[in-house]
Amino acid sequence: SSDRGLCGGIHSSVVKFIRALIEQDGADAETKVVVVGDKAKAILQRNLSQHIMMSFNEYGKRPPIFADAALIANAILNCGYNYDRASLIFNSFRSVISYNTTQLPLFTPKSIEGSDKFSLYDSIDED
């Protein structure tokens, strides 16, 4: 989501999607959410605050750059929380009045390193 704007439907569709995923996982699952943007955070805090692991604001006020994404990714990787699956939930533009809520899988560093084709990518760090 973002930190500004009056388009409640954009933010609420992401939150509804997240809420459905949490309900699907069930009460016994330990589901954590990393929220980017104040609008979605405000909605999630009403009923799902126990699931918010961390949040970031000051996004959406200016065009995003790689450093913004890297800051969030590093915070998640270095937080000490061990997860077995993760998803990025976001909206993509469909029309002026409609957005597609999309779920993109995110892989753990361990699963990436264990991939069959991981060795095809040369790493400067290994030199």
* 12 in Cβ contact with 43 (< 8 Å): yes
* 103 in Cβ contact with 88 (< 8 Å): yes
Question: Helix, strand or coil for residue 39?
Answer: helix
Residue 6 has pLDDT above 50, yes or no: no
Q: Rounded to two decimals, what is the model's pTM? A: 0.78
Instruction: Report the distance separating Cα 93 and Cα 98, nearest Å.
Output: 7
Average confidence (pLDDT) over 61-66? 84
Taking the CA atoms of residue 104, residue 105, residue 108 and residue 109 in that order, the dihedral angle to the nearest 10 degrees is -60
In tens, the pLDDT along 19-59 reads 999 999 888 889 999 999 888 888 899 999 999 999 998 87
Residues whose CB is less than 8 angstroms from the CB of residue 67 and which lie 6 or more positions away in sequence, other chains included: none
Residue 123 has pLDDT above 80, yes or no: no
Residues whose CB is less than 8 angstroms from the CB of residue 9 and which lie 6 or more positions away in sequence, other chains included: 99
What Rg value do the Cα atoms of the chain yield, rounded? Answer: 16
